[in-house]
Chains A and B, each alone.
Chain A
Amino acid sequence: MNDAMVSRRGFVKGSALAGLGVAVAGGGAFSLFGCSSQGEQQTGASEPTESAEQVFWGHCSVNCEGRCSLQLHVKDDEVVWVESDNTGDDEYGNHQIRACLRGRSIRRWINHPDRLSVPMKRVGKRGEGKFEQISWNEAFDMLAENYTRILDEYGPESIWNHYASGVNASNIGSFLSRFINMNGGCLGRYGSYSSAQISAALPYLYGTRAANSNSDIVNSKLVVMFGENSVETKAGGAGPTYHLEQALEQGGAKVIVIDPRYSDTVATRADQWIPIRPGTDAALVDAVAYVLISEDLVDHDFLAKYCIGYDEDSMPESAKGQNKSYKAYIMGEGADAVAKTPAWAEAITGVAADTITELAREIGTAKPCAIYQGKGPQRQSNGEQTARAICMLPVLTGNVGINGGNTGSDLDGFYFSTFSVPTGDNPVETKIATFTWTDAIDHGTDMTKLANGVRGKDKLEVPIKMIFNYAGNTITNQHSDINRTHEILQDESKCEFIVVWDTFLTDSAKYADLLLPDLMPVEQPNFVSNDYAGNMGFIIMGQPVTSPKFERKTLYSVLSEVADRMGMKDEFTEGRDEQAWLEYCYEEARKKDSELPTFEEMLAQGIYRRKDPDGHHVALKDFRDDPEANPLETPSGKIEIYSEALEEIVATWELAEGDIINPLPVYAPGVEGFDDPLRETYPLQMPGYHYKARAHSSYGCIDVLKQAAPQELWINPVDAESRGIADGETVKVYNDRGTVEILAKVTPRILPGVVSMGQGAWHEADMAGDKVDRGGCINTLTSLRPTPLAKANPQHTNLVEVAKL
């Protein structure tokens, strides 16, 4: 037995004695009664008069980018336990869609005593969280009146359908877009909080953001993953985690993971961990490219046939003869005259030059080699440059468009038969970047196309005046800089009305003027198709597991009533209830895909699986096979290593100081990065990560998950010691934007100089008082400054200091 186990037993012993103390204090007779009462309950449970247990199909579809099957066991109209998929033979390829720890804990969410149960209106100051119960009729009137008034006064561009991902069921959330579009639409949005930077950047290189299915790793010799941690982020049993495990078990590829954290993916899948300073991945790539070029390990045929901008020969006319090629830049012949050697990168990344050289040789000689990135590297202040730069490794080595390779993007999968409620088109063409909605409330009419990424118009003509927020916690908790956001939202003269649907009084819900108690997807007719799921797609069909409890209503029934008050009920409902819409959507899909089971069959079987007929999805395969017949959607039809479109943006956009967009996919220092002078004040870099305890903030209040995966700040022993911090102590993490109090996990699993906390913990602060967040929400510390190209959330780029309390 080792010390750790002794310590564990000591802990248990202490608990046991404490328990005995309680029993004695309660009195012997009382504890005896307790025993006998329990005995009676057990007898009662087996009596034949007890109602039978029923099992209903449902799904967990929070935004982890997995989707999992549930079989909910129900007794007396209450969910009593949760089974997942146990059907079929579970052979890989026809495997079960097993839920992870979160889906397995959904009963605690469904039955939670803190769930919202009645409609309420705000009575305190906005954000105080003070509400008063109202009748549903009052709620319908209040929503219809405010919506009509704001539409009349400011027009549809003042309406904002907020980014939200708590419900990803095909037949549920879309009703809101349908309702808004029928009323003239709303200010559009582009980009997400998940993948805005990579989605904005990669089309300049490839014309699209595309990746192989990660099941295709079975064909790889070497896998190199930048910040990819699907083991933790997409844990469900039919998602990328299981595909990665099977692909490696069967294919045997070597795995190298580059990440500041020794993540669970590193711990359980990697042969080599390369710890790197956050935000410097592109510098590592530049130096790998330097070695590949110097040692002639690049695929010249691929570069010549499929790419422009690699060297002088393939530069576009506008940029010829100016030493602007990728090769010139990397080799030190460009404008900066700096060779991007491993020694150069070592000083930036913290990765030893020898390690970089070895990495380059491995990448250059393994065929095929799969380069993947997670979405962490791109969710940073220089994320667009990083995302595009990582893709240069497969481009240089010709690993694009083939089995066992990848584009360098994040993983993709196989999809079929997706369908949802018809939403109609948004008549408003003006759009802003999703992340900039607080700017659009605060100073919307100052926002322009060239400075702020407004699309469809040169400038915004009206600020956001009303927010519809369905099943999302991105008003504060998942947005950035909660303290500043709180200030903006508290001013009721700016955004005049906020309606929120949710199951809990989340931190975002506290900002509602009208707060409506939602039913969970499993409590209404529900349908979902797979998200990332390797080469086996699936659909899950569920039925309401219990009757609606208290005064909770579906989004659809609420909107139907409001539509009625606005004189458009028939148009909105087309005479259907929720079940009829589910059947309608499904039958529409069956018209296009006759292999699908009948609706009745789906209701009975709950799940339907289909394997990718092509084996594995290989991104850009058509282009690779025949680039003439299948050009990319870039201006040249080729892979644009040098992008004239970006050159044009650099020349015309009004970029803030420190914002860098480079026509080449190369490293650019980021604002608040490791080399920012602000590190003198706030010396630690703090990226977040996606934690197994939650999917973003979903499941964030479930007690068993909080116990099993507590919210902690990872800090290296080197940084902890110098601050006098011991493992398990509460510390404060702070910068100019706010302060978080959180438990310290002193662990060698993180690079010195870097600390990290899981994103999505529930913000818990006295906003009328000290504003110190004792819930451990990273967004107390993140920045509202958008990234250069996507105008998106740099939520992993934060400088902080940590101190003992």
Chain B
Amino acid sequence: MSQYGFYFNGPRCTGCKTCELACKDYHDLTPEIAFRNVYEYTGGTWSQSGSLWSDDVYSYYISSACNHCDMPACMANCAQGAISKDQKTGIVTIDAEKCIGCGLCVESCPYGAPKLDAEKNVAVKCDMCADRVAEGLVPVCVEACPLRALEFGEIEELRSKYGDVAAVAPLPDPSETSPNVVMTEPRHAKPIDDKTGALANEIEVA
């Protein structure tokens, strides 16, 4: 079988959120739900000496969607059997017919990838634009990025090109679910166990 994945070129990303909004347009999502989110991770403090301030401030952005994991926590926790992983592509999808909207997948995913659509009472999430991929296209977020910071492809090929870093703060430990994502760390990136910074745009995350 194949396994598709995403590559995130951190040094190129400006945090502009075009990926997130292009996805919202293509999948016709409301403000409350995003299949891809851009996280601002910020740290550092200011100190004063006389009238002068000095700082060690840093900040960077991470664009993250469903990583169509090898060990999808959402799938493992779905009592309805509504979540499946496609044998040919590795894409993890939710069957809206089977889903009862219980929210267990939402709670179990360390990436917060599935969302509960309260109106339709089903869980929804990134399907890697499976319809586009089936036509030989790339997911819309990848095609949209003004900085060409996202790539899509066979995860093994992406790893051979870009290495195997799968997380920086504020993302979870990749060992939890074996996500199919690889990244070049953005400038200022901190390790996942970093304590110097924090997610700085929580109200923007949907």
Interface residues of B in 91-129 (CB under 8 A from A): 96-97, 101-103, 106-107, 110, 112, 115-122
With A242-B147, A748-B46 as contacts: A2 and B192 at CB distance below 8 Å: yes
Give the contacting residue for B21; candidates A1, A104, A347; CB below 8 A: A104
Docked complex Cα distance between A7 and B201 (Å): 12
CB-CB nearest in chain B for A728 = B203
Interface residues of B in 171-206 (CB under 8 A from A): 171-173, 176, 186-188, 192-195, 198-200, 202-206
A98 and B31 within 8 A (CB): no
Interface residues of B in 10-27 (CB under 8 A from A): 11-18, 20-22, 24-26
Residues of chain A with a CB closer than 8 A to B12's CB: 245, 249
Query: Which of B77-85, B138-146, B152-160 sits within the interface?
Result: B138-146
Residues of chain B with a CB closer than 8 A to A101's CB: 16-18, 20-22
Docked complex Cα distance between A443 and B65 (Å): 57
Residues of chain A with a CB closer than 8 A to B147's CB: 237, 241-242, 245
Query: Which of A32-40, A641-649, A788-796 sits within the interface?
Result: A32-40
The answer to whether A805 has its CB under 8 Å from any CB of chain B is: no
Docked complex Cα distance between A208 and B57 (Å): 38
The answer to whether B67 has its CB under 8 Å from any CB of chain A is: no
Nearest CB on A from B202, distance (A): 6
Nearest CB on A from B147, distance (A): 6
Nearest CB on A from B177, distance (A): 11
Docked complex Cα distance between A17 and B101 (Å): 10
Nearest CB on A from B84, distance (A): 18
With A98-B146, A242-B147, A245-B147 as contacts: A4 and B199 at CB distance below 8 Å: yes
With A101-B17, A268-B187, A704-B24 as contacts: A2 and B193 at CB distance below 8 Å: yes
A90 and B112 within 8 A (CB): no
B199 and A5 within 8 A (CB): yes
Give the contacting residue for A708; candidates B20, B112, B148, B202; CB below 8 A: B20
Docked complex Cα distance between A3 and B198 (Å): 8
The answer to whether A82 has its CB under 8 Å from any CB of chain B is: yes
The answer to whether A148 has its CB under 8 Å from any CB of chain B is: no
CB-CB nearest in chain B for A271 = B187
User: A755-780 toward B: CB 8 Å interface, digit per residue (1/0)?
Assistant: 00000000000000000000000000
B204 and A708 within 8 A (CB): yes
The answer to whether B5 has its CB under 8 Å from any CB of chain A is: no
The answer to whether B86 has its CB under 8 Å from any CB of chain A is: no
The answer to whether A550 has its CB under 8 Å from any CB of chain B is: no
With A9-B112, A12-B112 as contacts: A748 and B55 at CB distance below 8 Å: yes
Residues of chain A with a CB closer than 8 A to B52's CB: 346, 350, 352
Residues of chain A with a CB closer than 8 A to B203's CB: 710, 728, 743
B118 and A22 within 8 A (CB): yes
Total contacts A to B, CB within 8 angstroms? 231
Residues of chain B with a CB closer than 8 A to A239's CB: 146
Give the contacting residue for A7; candidates B20, B48, B176, B199; CB below 8 A: B199
The answer to whether B3 has its CB under 8 Å from any CB of chain A is: no
With A19-B116, A23-B121 as contacts: A5 and B171 at CB distance below 8 Å: yes
Give the contacting residue for A8; candidates B31, B42, B176, B199; CB below 8 A: B199
B42 and A5 within 8 A (CB): no
With A268-B60, A275-B53 as contacts: A232 and B16 at CB distance below 8 Å: yes
CB-CB nearest in chain B for A693 = B17
The answer to whether A273 has its CB under 8 Å from any CB of chain B is: yes
A12 and B42 within 8 A (CB): no
B25 and A692 within 8 A (CB): no
The answer to whether A105 has its CB under 8 Å from any CB of chain B is: yes
Nearest CB on A from B42, distance (A): 6
With A81-B25, A346-B52, A707-B206 as contacts: A19 and B118 at CB distance below 8 Å: yes
What's the interface size class on B, roughly?
35 or more
B204 and A104 within 8 A (CB): no
B44 and A748 within 8 A (CB): yes
The answer to whether A99 has its CB under 8 Å from any CB of chain B is: yes
B202 and A7 within 8 A (CB): yes
Docked complex Cα distance between A785 and B172 (Å): 52
B122 and A692 within 8 A (CB): no
With A20-B101, A235-B18, A235-B146 as contacts: A8 and B25 at CB distance below 8 Å: no
Docked complex Cα distance between A309 and B202 (Å): 54
Docked complex Cα distance between A747 and B43 (Å): 9
Nearest CB on A from B39, distance (A): 8
Give the contacting residue for B110; candidates A5, A31, A267; CB below 8 A: A5
Docked complex Cα distance between A395 and B96 (Å): 65
Give the contacting residue for B25; candidates A82, A237, A245, A264; CB below 8 A: A82
Docked complex Cα distance between A708 and B25 (Å): 13
Docked complex Cα distance between A216 and B134 (Å): 40
Docked complex Cα distance between A94 and B58 (Å): 34
B112 and A38 within 8 A (CB): no
Residue among A34, A102, A235, A347 with the most chain B CB within 10 A? A235
The answer to whether A749 has its CB under 8 Å from any CB of chain B is: yes
The answer to whether B169 has its CB under 8 Å from any CB of chain A is: yes
The answer to whether A231 has its CB under 8 Å from any CB of chain B is: yes
Residues of chain A with a CB closer than 8 A to B28's CB: 81
CB-CB nearest in chain A for B16 = A235
Docked complex Cα distance between A705 and B30 (Å): 11
Give the contacting residue for A100; candidates B18, B29, B101, B200; CB below 8 A: B18
A262 and B146 within 8 A (CB): no
Nearest CB on B from A214, distance (A): 14
A99 and B18 within 8 A (CB): yes
The answer to whether A236 has its CB under 8 Å from any CB of chain B is: yes
Residues of chain B with a CB closer than 8 A to A717's CB: 45-46
Nearest CB on B from A86, distance (A): 6
Nearest CB on A from B149, distance (A): 9
A38 and B96 within 8 A (CB): yes
The answer to whether B89 has its CB under 8 Å from any CB of chain A is: no
Give the contacting residue for A15; candidates B13, B20, B32, B97; CB below 8 A: B32
Residue among B29, B59, B115 with the most chain A CB within 10 A? B59
Docked complex Cα distance between A426 and B206 (Å): 51
B120 and A38 within 8 A (CB): yes
Nearest CB on A from B118, distance (A): 3
Question: What would 27 A/B residue contacts be, using CB atoms closer than 8 Å?
Answer: A2-B169, A2-B170, A2-B194, A7-B199, A8-B202, A20-B103, A22-B118, A34-B119, A34-B120, A34-B121, A100-B16, A105-B24, A235-B16, A235-B18, A249-B11, A262-B59, A264-B14, A264-B15, A267-B58, A267-B188, A268-B60, A268-B186, A269-B14, A347-B51, A352-B54, A707-B206, A709-B17
Spell out B's residues near A (CB within 8 Å): 11-18, 20-22, 24-26, 28-32, 34, 41-46, 48, 51-55, 57-61, 96-97, 101-103, 106-107, 110, 112, 115-122, 140, 143-148, 169-173, 176, 186-188, 192-195, 198-200, 202-206
Task: Apart from A2-B194, A19-B103, A267-B61, list 15 A-B contacts with CB within 8 A.
Answer: A1-B110, A2-B192, A4-B169, A15-B32, A17-B103, A81-B25, A98-B144, A235-B16, A267-B15, A273-B57, A275-B53, A350-B53, A708-B31, A718-B48, A749-B59
Spell out A's residues near B (CB within 8 Å): 1-5, 7-9, 11-13, 15-20, 22-23, 31, 34-35, 38-39, 81-84, 86, 90, 98-102, 104-105, 107-108, 231-232, 235-237, 239, 241-242, 245, 249, 262, 264-265, 267-269, 273, 275, 346-347, 350, 352, 692, 703-710, 716-718, 728, 743, 747-749, 751-752
6 tightest A-B CB contacts, nearest first: A19-B118, A237-B146, A4-B199, A707-B31, A16-B103, A101-B21
